[in-house]
Amino acid sequence: MFRERYPDGEIDNLYTDSYNDKPLMDISRNVFFVKGNKITQIKKDGVEVQ
């Protein structure tokens, strides 16, 4: 749906608490997973980090 509405759009930073957002994670440059008060970066500059 995002690509349909914004075909050239990019997501710089995505904060999520669910892996159900995987399609948005895939098109985001940086992804942060939020669990309670903890935020963990799981993707940086388009590359997944461990």
pLDDT tens digits, 25-46: 999 999 999 999 999 999 999 9
User: Which residue range forms the structural domain that includes residue 18?
Assistant: 2-48
- The two three-digit tokens of residue 40, written as one number: 């963990």
For the segment 21-28, the average pLDDT, to the nearest whole number, is 94
For residues 5 and 50, the model is more confident at 5
**pLDDT of residue 9 exceeding 80:** yes
Q: How many domains does the chain have?
A: 1
Q: How far apart are CA 22 and CA 24, in angstroms?
A: 5
pLDDT of residue 14: 98
| Contact call for residues 16 and 24 (beta carbons, < 8 A) | yes
CB atoms within 10 A of CB 36: 6
